[in-house]
Amino acid sequence: MIQLNQVTLIRDKKKVLDNIHLTVTSGELVILTGESGSGKSSLISVLNGLIPELYDGEIFGQLTVLDTRLPPIDFNKYVKDIGVVFQNPKTQFFTTSVLSELAFSMENYGFSAEDINTRMNDVIELFHLEDLIGKKVTELSGGQKQRIAFAAACMLPHRFFLLDEPSSNLDYVTIKQLSAYIKLLKQRGCTLIISEHRLFYLSELADRYVILKKGKITYDLSAAQFKAQFPIIQEEMGLRSLQEPKLFKSFIKKIEQDDASRVLQIKDLTYQYSNRKLVLNIPSLDICIDSIVGLVGQNGSGKTTFVQLLSGLLIDKSYSFSIMGANLSAKERIKRSFIVMQDVNLQLFFETVEKELLVQSKRTELFDDVVDALNLRRLLSSHPQNLSGGEKQRVAIASAILSGKEWLILDEPTSGLDYQNMLAVSKLLKKVQSLGIFVLVISHDNEFLSQTASCILKMDNGGVMS
């Protein structure tokens, strides 16, 4: 079904994929894994035809997918048989509403309204989208967008699916649902190639594991071989755990009286977007800012809205933030805060990584330490938008640390990160916190939070469980 023979990809005069040999038979589920920047997403883009159809790149060697030689002569015909979910789901949305996004692909290929409605009802039920179907895409959380992207990819009767880190923004409940969706596709005889760092939810489904390093396939193992050799391979290749990580952290610690000078007090915090139900309702909350706080909760529970209010990016006069009894205005909170957004593409502006880090830096004395800690030295002359998802994430985190801000707020900072870089980020954040900087991390990554957070806040339906 899929045959790659001596495939090499050159982009920006750099060898991104190097002499790839890969055969995938019909009905197989193959996991692509390996360190950030190893070529996983590039291989996905070659297989789905986006390189060279939309993105520049020279491909050498022989590629055959679904009996079609790549690059395909008729791109539109080729992609009709392939379901794709990108690392950043926003890049594959074409419409403004969930309903129209689901219908788009079938409308584009001329299916009847009756066929579209029948298929849409099936997909809505399969993906449990009843609560999202009337919403605009812009109203969705990152994890909800991920669900819609996968659901939209399943609207057509594809034989072959390419998924690029489909779990990256999902909570653990939704990851279990994702695993069930993938299992169903496999049972229907579909072929799947999934690029992923988080391996635990696929461990009972995968047939093979292909591990890349610096553009080359280092290992190509059956599931049984991979599991038998995993302790050695994990250490060598820096892979995430095969077991579901558990979170063994206490909830928010009780604040003692003598700690009051470093307590952020929040009162009467409510927020509601226009024409929508109440998103947040927090009567009172004290947060010790001499700590690294993990903020957890299901997709759509209000986490991102909370930190936007905390940082002053959203304004509502009904609540108060204070330290030592002194109110902090939205303007003051903006001055203190730096947010690393869930979609870091929105905050990478300059033509090189070095310039990205230095232009707004107020802590230039930390530059070398931060660059080396996050393994960015070799990327300093690269354009940020040419980096892998995990590399972009590390650049944004480095920029936040060097900004000189007192509050660092990170929204899903481990998206796209392999195990070694996850540990590097954890270690660096602990060092930064020791300098008196408040760090708040939104994350569904229990493996990271267990390594990093001092305490945990859990959000549920717009409130905080403490």
Asked whether the beta carbons of 53 and 75 are under 8 A apart, the reply is yes
Amino acid 318: pLDDT: 67
Residue 206 near residue 28 (C-beta atoms within 8 A): no
Q: Does 114 fall in a domain?
A: yes
In this structure, the answer to whether residues 199 and 313 fall within a common structural domain is no
What is the reported pLDDT for 101? Answer: 96
Same domain, 188 and 280: no
What is the total count of domains within the chain? 2
Residue 411's nearest CA partner among 346, 356, 351 is: 346
Assess whether 180 and 302 both reside in one domain.
Answer: no
Residues 271, 358: one domain? yes
Q: Both 282 and 176 in a single domain?
A: no
Boundary of a domain, candidates 182, 202, 237: 237
In a domain, 344, yes or no: yes
Q: Residue 241: left (phi > 0), alpha (psi -120 to 50), or beta?
A: beta
> What's residue 104's pLDDT?
95
Question: What's the whole-model pTM score?
Answer: 0.86
Q: Are residues 336 and 210 in the same domain?
A: no
Number of Cβ atoms within 10 Å of the Cβ of 117: 13
| pLDDT at site 248 | 59
Confirm whether 310 is domain-assigned.
Answer: yes
pLDDT in the model for residue 253: 46
Q: Do 421 and 386 sit in the same domain of this protein?
A: yes
Starting at the edge strand found earlier in the chain, the sheet holding 455-460 runs: 337-340, 407-411, 438-442, 292-296, 455-460, 463-465
> What pLDDT, on the 0 to 100 scale, is given for residue 280?
86
Considering the domain architecture, whether residues 284 and 341 belong to the same structural domain is answered as yes
Smallest Cα–Cα separation from 164: which of 101, 236, 83?
83
At residue 256, the pLDDT reads 46
Question: Consecutive 10-residue runs of the chain (466 residues): their mean pLDDT?
Answer: 95 94 97 94 95 93 93 89 89 93 94 96 92 91 89 93 91 90 94 96 97 97 98 93 75 46 82 75 88 90 89 79 81 93 91 94 93 95 91 95 95 90 94 93 92 90 75
For residue 299, what is the domain's CATH number? 3.40.50.300
Sheet holding 326-327: strands in order across? 280-288, 263-271, 320-323, 326-327
**300 occurs within a structural domain:** yes
Same domain flag for 187 and 112: yes
| CA pair distance 339, 348, nearest whole angstrom | 13
The answer on 403 and 329 residing in a single domain is yes
Judge if 143 and 208 occupy the same domain. yes
The answer as to whether 134 is a domain residue is yes
Residue 101 counted as domain residue: yes
Q: Same domain, yes or no, for 210 and 307?
A: no
Helix runs in 269-329, H state only: 303-310
Q: What is the pLDDT of residue 106?
A: 95
The two counts, helices (H) then strands (E), for the chain are 15, 20
Establish if 251 belongs to a structural domain. no
Q: Which domain holds residue 369?
A: 263-465
Residue 336 resides in a domain: yes
